[in-house]
C-alpha cells in the first residue's frame, strides 16, 4: 500500500501512532542516525511464507520519521523496522502492548472512550479541606488484580475519607507481575491490569466517587528487559550521568531537546488522555539535568498547562530533602506541591519497634522528634547525618504543612523489613492506635498504604518476574541491599529472604478486603480519625494557618495545641507512647484551658470501639493522669454560669 503522506500533521502528541479525525493512522518516531524507518503491520494470520510488509515513513528534521496511512485504524498491531534490518521493534511511544514489551504495539484511539467527569475540577493542593493520599498497587489491591476489580472498591475508599489515589507505576514491564519501577514502555499501561480503556474507566469512576487519581512515574531509568529505545537512538541515555540502577535519560547533552520532548509528552499524556489528576515523581534525586530549565520544573509547568482549567497535584520523592522542589518558580523552585517526608516515617518506626539500624540510625523516636516533625516537617534540614556521613536536608522553615507527605507505611519501607509485615504487627496495638492519631491529625498531608486502614494481614514483599539471568541478579541485588540491616545480614536471614521471582511472593501480597469486617476495630479507628480530621473546624484551620505548637513531657510523651481561628476554640492532642504517668507539676502554658472553659474529652485511642480499654472522663480539678500508650483529643467545654 502506498504511503499517503508525511510530516507532522495535526496531532495530540509529538510521537507515537494516532488515529486521525479524518481517518487513518499517523505514525511519528524519533530515530536520528537511521536512514530508513518502516511501519510493519502484523496481520492476525499472515500468509505462509509471506514476510511482513513494511510501509516507509518520510524523514523530517531533527531525526523524526512520520507518515499517514488511511487504510489503518484503531486496534492495528504494528512494529518498526530500522534500516531494513531483520529485527522488528515496538514503538517507543506505544499506547498499548497487548502481548508485553517484546510484542507488537497496538494503535489506540482515546477518543473512543466516553468520559463522564465533565464536572470534575481536579485536585487542588490549596484545598482548605486538605488531602488524604492512598498508595495503591493495582495488581495486589484485589484478588483479581485488575482495574475493573479495583473500581468496585472506590465507594469504600471515598467513604473512608481518601481524596487522592496514588497509583504505583503502570508503564508496561515484562513478566507476570512486578512493582512497576522497571517499566520500559512509558506510554503503555501494562496489559496485566486490563486495557487502556479499563484504566480510563477506573479514573472516570474515581472522579464520580469524588477521588482524584495521580500516577507514580519513573523518569530516572528504564528496566533492564524490553528496553528498545537504544535501537532508535543512543542519545536517549546520558553519557554524563548515571543512577543507582544504571543509565539515566539524557536531559542536558547533545540531542537532549528531543529526549526532553519525549518525557514531557509522557507527563502530559497521562493528564490529557487518561484525565489523571497529577503525578508522583519517583526518586527525583536520581534525575540529573544541568540545563538552565531543569526537566522537573518543565514537567510541572507543562502538566499544569495541559490540565487547565482543572487543577493537578504533583508530589515528589526526594531522599536529600531539597525544598527547592516545592518552592515556587518565583522563588527559584520547581513548583511541586509536596515532598515525601522519610524523617517522619523513620522516627515513627524507631518509636514503634525500638530498632534503629541502617538508615534508622540517626533517629531516636522521641517525643521531641514528633513535635518538631509536626511543626517543621523535615527533622534534618542541613544537620550532620552519620549514616550517610554527610549533611542531610535543606531549611524548610516557613513551608506550609501541606507541603509534606507523612506516612508510617509505604511500598518501599514495608518490603525493606524483609518479613514485609505491616507495622501494626511490629508494635503493640495501643501504641499503633496512638500513632494513627499522630499521623492522621497532624497538619501535614497523610498517606496510607493500601490495606493500612484495616490493619491488613497481607505483607508487601518486593516482587519482580524476570527471565532467569536477570532474576538471579535482581535477587542477589535485593539481598545485598537488605544486608545494610545487621539482622538481615545474618546467614539465616539471608537464606529466608523471599524470592522476588516466585509467584507465591506476589500472591501473598494480595489484599483481603473482607478484613474490613474481621478487623472492624482497626477500620473504625481510621474512619473516625479521618472524619475528625475532615469535619473538625480547628484541625482544618491549622492545616491552612499553621498555628500549632507543642511541648515535651518526657522521652515518650508530648502535647500539641491546635489554635483555632476563633479565640478559645483550640484543641489539645496528648500523646503518651510510654508507661502511664501523672502530669504533676504542670508548668506548661500550652495546657492552660481557654477562658471560662474546661478541657473535655473529644476522642481517645483507647475507646472500646477500637479495641481499647476506654479512658475515664477528663478531670476538671487536680492533676492529669496520662494513660500509657494512648492519645487523646481535648476540646474546651464552656463552663455554665455559676460554675
Local confidence band at 47 (pLDDT 50, 70, 90 cut-offs) = low
Q: Is 502 a catalytic residue?
A: no
Does 196 map to a domain?
no
Segment 603-619 mean pLDDT? 94
- Rounded to an integer, the average pLDDT of 7-33 is 90
What's the CA gap between 100 and 77, in Å, rounded?
Answer: 13
Q: What is the CA radius of gyration of the chain?
A: 27
| pLDDT(48) > 60 | no
Residue 232 predicted with pLDDT over 70: yes
What distance in Å separates the CA atoms of residue 488 and residue 295, rounded to the nearest whole number?
Answer: 38
With cut-offs at 50, 70 and 90, classify the pLDDT of residue 567.
confident
CB neighbour list of residue 85: distance below 8 Å, 6 or more residues apart: none
Q: Which pLDDT score is estimated for 202?
A: 98
53 against 362, higher pLDDT? 362
Closest CA to 158 of 453, 469, 440, 480: 453
CB 39 within 8 A of CB 57: yes
What's the number of domains the chain is made of? 2
In a domain, 327, yes or no: no
The predicted pLDDT at position 51 comes to 56
Contact criterion met (CB below 8 Å) for 528 and 161 = no
With a pLDDT cut of 70, the percent of the chain lying above it is 97
pLDDT in tens, 77-118: 999 999 999 999 999 999 999 999 999 999 999 999 999 999
Per-residue pLDDT at 418: 72
- pLDDT tens sequence across 416-470: 887 899 999 999 999 999 999 999 999 999 999 999 999 999 999 999 999 999 9
Which of 190, 173, 100, 184 is closest to 138 using CA atoms?
Answer: 190
Q: How confident is the model at residue 3 (pLDDT cuts 50, 70, 90)?
A: very low
Three-class SS of 471-500: HHHHHHHHHHHHCCCHHHCCHHHHHHCCCC
For position 551, which CATH number holds? 2.60.40.1180
In the set 166, 282, 289, 515, the catalytic residue is 282
For the domain that residue 90 is a member of, what is the CATH number? 2.60.40.10
Please, which pLDDT band fits residue 9 given cuts at 50, 70 and 90? Answer: low
Examine residue 612 and state whether it is found in any structural domain, yes or no: yes
Q: Do residues 6 and 68 lie in contact, with contact meaning Cβ atoms separated by under 8 Å?
A: yes
Active-site option among 252, 317, 343, 362: 317
Mean pLDDT of 576-603: 93
- Is the pLDDT at 566 greater than 60, yes or no? yes
pLDDT confidence bin for 58, thresholds 50/70/90: very high
Among the listed residues 359, 411, 408, the one whose alpha carbon sits nearest the alpha carbon of residue 181: 411
Give a yes or no: residue 38 inside a domain.
yes
pLDDT digits (tens, 9 = 90+) for 621-630: 889 999 999 9
Residue 149 lies in a domain: no
Diameter of the chain by CA atoms? 101
Q: Is the pLDDT of residue 287 over 60?
A: yes
Long-range own/partner contacts, residues 86-92 (CB < 8 A, 24 or more apart):
87/231, 88/40, 88/52, 89/228, 89/231, 89/232, 90/185, 90/228, 91/16, 91/17, 91/27, 91/29, 92/15, 92/29, 92/30, 92/228, 92/229, 92/232, 92/262
- Among residues 64, 93, 109, which one ends one of the domains? 109
Q: Among the three residues 85, 109, 133, which one is the final residue of a domain in this structure?
A: 109
The least confident of 33-37, 387-391, 472-476 is: 472-476
Q: Which helix (H) or strand (E) holds 408?
A: none
Indicate whether 359 belongs to any domain. Answer: no
CA pair distance 643, 631, nearest whole angstrom: 28
Which of 474-478, 571-575, 639-643 is predicted least confidently? 639-643
Among the candidates 109, 138, 153, a domain finishes at 109
Give the model confidence (pLDDT) of 70-79 as tens digits. Answer: 999 999 999 9
* pLDDT in the model for residue 467: 92
The pLDDT of residue 487 is 85
Name residues whose C-beta falls within 8 Å of residue 35's C-beta, 6 or more positions apart in sequence.
83
Q: Rounded mean pLDDT of 483-506?
A: 91
Is 528 tagged catalytic?
Answer: no
Q: Is position 597 within any domain?
A: yes
The yes-or-no verdict on residue 61 having pLDDT over 80 is yes
pLDDT band at 643 (very low <50, low <70, confident <90, very high): low
Residue 1's pLDDT is 35
The continuous run of DSSP H or E covering 451 comes out as none
C-alpha span between 501 and 190 (Å, rounded) = 18
Order of all β-strands in the sheet with 597-604: 548-552, 557-562, 571-576, 630-638, 597-604
Asked whether residue 60 is domain-assigned, the answer is: yes
Cβ(374)–Cβ(438) below 8 Å: yes
- Identify the domain containing residue 553 by its residue range: 545-638
pLDDT-derived band of residue 50, with 50, 70 and 90 as boundaries?
low
Amino acid at each position: 500500500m502506498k504511503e499517503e503522506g508525511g510530516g507532522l500533521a495535526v496531532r495530540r502528541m509529538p510521537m507515537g501512532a494516532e488515529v486521525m479525525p479524518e481517518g487513518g493512522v499517523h505514525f511519528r518516531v524519533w530515530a536520528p542516525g537511521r536512514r530508513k524507518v518502516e511501519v510493519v503491520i502484523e496481520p492476525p494470520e499472515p500468509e505462509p511464507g509471506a514476510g511482513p510488509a513494511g510501509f516507509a515513513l518520510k524523514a523530517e528534521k531533527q531525526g523524526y520519521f512520520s507518515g499517514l496511512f488511511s487504510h489503518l485504524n484503531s486496534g492495528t498491531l504494528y512494529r518498526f523496522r530500522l534500516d531494513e534490518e531483520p529485527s522488528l521493534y515496538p514503538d517507543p511511544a506505544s499506547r498499548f502492548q497487548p502481548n508485553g514489551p517484546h510484542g507488537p504495539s497496538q494503535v489506540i484511539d482515546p477518543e473512543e472512550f466516553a468520559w463522564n467527569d465533565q464536572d470534575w475540577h481536579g485536585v487542588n493542593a490549596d484545598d482548605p479541606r486538605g488531602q488524604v493520599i492512598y498508595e495503591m498497587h493495582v495488581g495486589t489491591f484485589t484478588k483479581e488484580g485488575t482495574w475493573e476489580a479495583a473500581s468496585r472498591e472506590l465507594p469504600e475508599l471515598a467513604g473512608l475519607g481518601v481524596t487522592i489515589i496514588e497509583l504505583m507505576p503502570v508503564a508496561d514491564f515484562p513478566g507476570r507481575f512486578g512493582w512497576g519501577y522497571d517499566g520500559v514502555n512509558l506510554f503503555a499501561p501494562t496489559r496485566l491490569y486490563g486495557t487502556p480503556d479499563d484504566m480510563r474507566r477506573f479514573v472516570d469512576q474515581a472522579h464520580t466517587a469524588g477521588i482524584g487519581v495521580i500516577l507514580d512515574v519513573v523518569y530516572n531509568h528504564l528496566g533492564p528487559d524490553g528496553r528498545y529505545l537504544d535501537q532508535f537512538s543512543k542519545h536517549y541515555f546520558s553519557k554524563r550521568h548515571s543512577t543507582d540502577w544504571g543509565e539515566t535519560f539524557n536531559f542536558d547533552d547533545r540531542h537532549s531537546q528531543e529526549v526532553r520532548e519525549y518525557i514531557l509528552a509522557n507527563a502530559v499524556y497521562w493528564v490529557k488522555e487518561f484525565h489523571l489528576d497529577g503525578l508522583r515523581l519517583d526518586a527525583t534525586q536520581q534525575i540529573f539535568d544541568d540545563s538552565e530549565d531543569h526537566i522537573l520544573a518543565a514537567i510541572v509547568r507543562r502538566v499544569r498547562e495541559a490540565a487547565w482549567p482543572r487543577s493537578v497535584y504533583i508530589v515528589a520523592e526526594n531522599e536529600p530533602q531539597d525544598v527547592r522542589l516545592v518552592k515556587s518558580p518565583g522563588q527559584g523552585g520547581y513548583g511541586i506541591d509536596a515532598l515525601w517526608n522519610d524523617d517522619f516515617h523513620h522516627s515513627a518506626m524507631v518509636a514503634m519497634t525500638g530498632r534503629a539500624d541502617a538508615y534508622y540510625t540517626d533517629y531516636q523516636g522521641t517525643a521531641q522528634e514528633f513535635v518538631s516533625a509536626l511543626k517543621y516537617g523535615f527533622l534534618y534540614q542541613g544537620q550532620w547525618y552519620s549514616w550517610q556521613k554527610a549533611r542531610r536536608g535543606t531549611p524548610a522553615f516557613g513551608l506550609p504543612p501541606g507541603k509534606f507527605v507523612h506516612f508510617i507505611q509505604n511500598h518501599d519501607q514495608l518490603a525493606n523489613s524483609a518479613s514485609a509485615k505491616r507495622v501494626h504487627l511490629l508494635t503493640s496495638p495501643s501504641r499503633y492506635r496512638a500513632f494513627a492519631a499522630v499521623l492522621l491529625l497532624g497538619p501535614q498531608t497523610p498517606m496510607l498504604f493500601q490495606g493500612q486502614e484495616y490493619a491488613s494481614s497481607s505483607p508487601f514483599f518486593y516482587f519482580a518476574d524476570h527471565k532467569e539471568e536477570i532474576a538471579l541478579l535482581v535477587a542477589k541485588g535485593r539481598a545485598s541491599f537488605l544486608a545494610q540491616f545487621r539482622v538481615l545480614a545474618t546467614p539465616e536471614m539471608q537464606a529466608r529472604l523471599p524470592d522476588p521471582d516466585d509467584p507465591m511472593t506476589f500472591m501473598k501480597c494480595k489484599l483481603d478486603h473482607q478484613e474490613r469486617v474481621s478487623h472492624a476495630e482497626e477500620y473504625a479507628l481510621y474512619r473516625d480519625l479521618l472524619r475528625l480530621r475532615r469535619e473538625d473546624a480547628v484541625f482544618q484551620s491549622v492545616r491552612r494557618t499553621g498555628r500549632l505548637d507543642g511541648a515535651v513531657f518526657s522521652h515518650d510523651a508530648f502535647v500539641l495545641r491546635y489554635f483555632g481561628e476563633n479565640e478559645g476554640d483550640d484543641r489539645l492532642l496528648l500523646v503518651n507512647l510510654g508507661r502511664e504517668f501523672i502530669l504533676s507539676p504542670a508548668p506548661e502554658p500550652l495546657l492552660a484551658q481557654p477562658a471560662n472553659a474546661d478541657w473535655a474529652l473529644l476522642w481517645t485511642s483507647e475507646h472500646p470501639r477500637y479495641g481499647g480499654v476506654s479512658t475515664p472522663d477528663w478531670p476538671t480539678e487536680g492533676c492529669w493522669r496520662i494513660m500509657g500508650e494512648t492519645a487523646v483529643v481535648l476540646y474546651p467545654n464552656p463552663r455554665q454560669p455559676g460554675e
